[in-house]
Amino acid sequence: MKFTSAPSPNHDVRTLPISLLVLHYTGMKSGKAALAHMRDPASKVSAHYMVEENGHVFKLVEEDRRAWHAGVSSWGGETNINSASIGIEIVNGGHDYGLPDFPDAQIKAVIRLCRDIMKRNGISNFGILAHSDIAPGRKQDPGEKFPWAKLADAGVGIWPDVKTKDPRLLFGENTSGKGIAILQTALAYLGYDVQANGKIDAHTRCVIRAFQRRYRAEKIDGLIDVQTLEILTLLARYTKKKNEGATGVG
């Protein structure tokens, strides 16, 4: 895949095998501004790649180096996400600039880039993550407009084939009990950083919002309704099959 080399000084030694691919939006006024920011030594921020709206790709950091894109984050119990991942910044103003749509040319380039990276590094579809997945209390990117289903159709990531639109609320705010602990355990099983304390506390709501932003973007409220539960249940089943070594999922 063609790209323009735009080296960033913001990287160091990778200390873990690559197993994750994290997608971000730049959240800045323009791609030019984002590129300059990631190439500024004072920013202490970088990513391996940046994809412009027109699909043009910039390479900032070699894949065998640790780019500084994830910040304080966690997935599957691992907190050194920068060392375990490759980061792609997708040019988009984000929530601070009206959360623009992602152009088709850009998404096609993101898909091609992701597939190349996955093939080179042996990253599974279960290792394709949003920045909001790994840092649900801090981040919302790449945001609820990002077309995760389209990526999954092209072999990048997973997408739950849930038919129900049932909006009935199962557990409201500040609910507690064994049922909540089971839900928290399922979210943690997928990889989210949440403890099974049996309470829908502030952090758990952040995690549920991140989950909804990724898999059910039309309603992001941090509460468990029937549809959210069914999506979670199906993804847990996918993950279980993956962990048991089954083929044909994702």
Q: Could you tell me the two tokens for 158?
A: 């997973």
How far apart (Å, rounded) are the C-alpha atoms in residues 118 and 124?
7
How far apart (Å, rounded) are the C-alpha atoms in residues 223 and 219?
10
Dmax over CA atoms of the chain, in Å, equals 53
Distances (CA, A) of 48 to 7, 67, 115, 119: 9, 6, 15, 16
Give the residue from 212, 201, 195, 197 showing the smallest Cα distance to 175. 201
Q: Which entry of 62, 63, 78, 89 is annotated as an active-site residue?
A: 89
Q: Could you tell me the two tokens for 135?
A: 């840092």
How far apart (Å, rounded) are the C-alpha atoms in residues 151 and 228?
21
3-state helix, strand, coil in the chain (%, to 5): 40, 15, 45
The β-bridge partners of 23 are 88, 130
| Active-site residue flag, 89 | yes
Catalytic residues: 89
